[in-house]
Structure 1
């Protein structure tokens, strides 16, 4: 993997480690101030999203020397996650999707860099 991949993957992974841990550990009441959409998602789905974010973050950090497939698979999964998150925000009346778009672009770039 290139240096560019690591420069992008490490902060992206740290973001998803934090966001995933919050979704797995915190109650919806504690998440609501920062994630207005939590009331529209069942708790098991919220926890599953958190676990997927944690797995994606860890997958981004697996070096090619150990296995060549986790980083591209994780990046692709995070792209899909954001492709699902954007409509959830838009259909709920939340037009603040700038972070989602940035995460989508970053995950797509990490995917490209992990296979290049």
Structure 2
């Protein structure tokens, strides 16, 4: 189970890391072509989401890997689960149903990591 948690955390870290870098560095015009919801949100909000996702992705791996404050790993997973829940709500309001499915998959993976690292497979 420990290996499965590391694999899921690693995949999530890469996905959220890439999404976070994209949202925190690219201009809004370029993002709106890939992410239609960006048109309805201010640029500082998009940047905040991007930085949050990037830090959450790093928080999934670095604390556990370095052994420095490993409690931050399940906290990061919980934070990313909250971001995905809010993203699903946003996509539901915009009637973007395929995006909701993707959000729920990421939400479930983040909850799995949080459950495992807070519970029976903590560090």
Q: Number of residues paired by the alignment?
A: 116
What is the root-mean-square deviation of aligned Cα atoms in Å?
Answer: 1.4
Unaligned runs of 5+ in 1: none
Relative to the length of structure 1, the TM-score reads 0.93
Displaced runs of 4 or more, over 6 A: none
Q: Which has the higher helix share?
A: 2
Per the normalisation by structure 2, the TM-score is 0.88
Q: Which has the higher contact order (CA 8 A, sep 6+)?
A: 1
Alignment of 1:18-97 (within 5 A): 18-61=18-61, 62-63=63-64, 65-96=67-98, 97=100
Q: Report the Cα offset of residue 33 of structure 1.
A: 2.2
Contact persistence 1:4–1:113 (CA under 8 A) = no
5+ residue gaps in structure 2? Answer: none
